[in-house]
Amino acid sequence: MQRRRLLKAFAGITGLTGLAGTAFVAPAFAQSSVTAKTPMEVWKDPDCGCCGDWVTHLQGNGFAVRVYDTGNSAARSRLGVPAKFDSCHTALVSGYAIEGHVPAREIRRLLKERPQAVGLSVPGMPVGSPGMDGAVYGNRRDPFDVLLIAKDGSTQVYQSYNRPEQSKGQSQALPTVEGEVRKVDKANGKISLRHGEIKNLDMPAMSMVFQVKDRALLDKVKAGDKVRFTVDQVNGDYTVMSIEVHD
């Protein structure tokens, strides 16, 4: 008897004005339907416009971005991104480092797959990547790779963009690039170069640390030398294939 009276009382309450019942449950439903944005921190060069354009790209793809106009190099070092992948901005999202103009789609994929890795990088500043795709570039779309950086510093291509398939066996001569040696690191097989545009890698003129194909190449050069060299991407690493001193 008591159970029946309780059921009737409950039915009376829920039967009171349908509008009141709807008003009671609507706020909870509305809150659950809102997708929270993914928080991200970005350290960038305060004078770099392409950094701001990349941040806008992220904001339009569901990221809540907190921007710092200083600390780019310190953040890169703290997050374990090798210096050879340095860019004008470094980000941190859910424990992963993001270096350079990485598309939001690949960051979303990274957060879904959760690999054991430092994070992602798009080395250089390839035209056509997010933040480097404004009207000023005339809709140009150069090929570039998104690299997955492993804990040991090695890399693999995570995703390629705008890169046409090449037929098997097709090869291209590497263009010669002029530059200046900034530092020679024989112990680690690396060389720091200030260089002109590297067309085969879609890399603008900048300073960067490269691997070398053969450490014997480093015996030919010293800091301050003017050089001509070739460079290619080998197993995800930008690698000097040949180098010669010139006057």
Residue burial 21-59, b: 16+ Cβ < 10 Å; e: rest: eeeeeeeeeeeeeeeeebebebbbbeebebbbebbebbe
Greater confidence, 180 or 124?
Answer: 180
Helix (H/G/I), strand (E/B), else coil: 29: helix
User: Residue 57: its pLDDT value, please?
Assistant: 94
User: Residue 164: its pLDDT value, please?
Assistant: 65
User: Residue 148: its pLDDT value, please?
Assistant: 94
CA atoms of 186 and 174, how far apart (whole Å): 24
Mean pLDDT of 150-158: 90
User: Residue 168: its pLDDT value, please?
Assistant: 37
CA–CA distance from 181 to each of 58, 192, 194 (Å)?
36, 6, 7
Mean pLDDT of 142-161: 90
pLDDT of residue 167 exceeding 60, the answer is: no
Greater confidence, 189 or 15?
Answer: 189
Greater confidence, 242 or 32?
Answer: 242
pLDDT of residue 123 exceeding 90, the answer is: no
Q: Look at residues 242, 243, 228, 240 and name the one whose alpha carbon lies nearest to residue 196.
A: 228
CA atoms of 83 and 86, how far apart (whole Å): 5
pLDDT band at 72 (very low <50, low <70, confident <90, very high): confident
User: Residue 35: its pLDDT value, please?
Assistant: 64
Greater confidence, 102 or 33?
Answer: 102
User: Residue 172: its pLDDT value, please?
Assistant: 55
Identify which of 109-118, 135-144, 228-237 has the greatest average pLDDT: 109-118
| Averaged pLDDT of the chain | 82
Question: For 201-212, what is each residue's pLDDT tens digit?
Answer: 878 899 889 999
SS percent in the chain: helix, strand, coil, step 5: 30, 35, 35
CA atoms of 59 and 39, how far apart (whole Å): 10
pLDDT band at 36 (very low <50, low <70, confident <90, very high): confident
Name all domains of the chain by residue range, CATH numbers in brackets: 38-161 (3.40.30.10), 177-245 (2.40.50.320)
pLDDT of residue 76 exceeding 80, the answer is: yes
Distant-in-sequence, close-in-space partners of 242: CB < 8 Å, separation ≥ 6: 213, 217, 229, 230
Q: Side-chain half-sphere of 8: how many Cα atoms within 13 Å?
A: 5
pLDDT of residue 243 exceeding 50, the answer is: yes
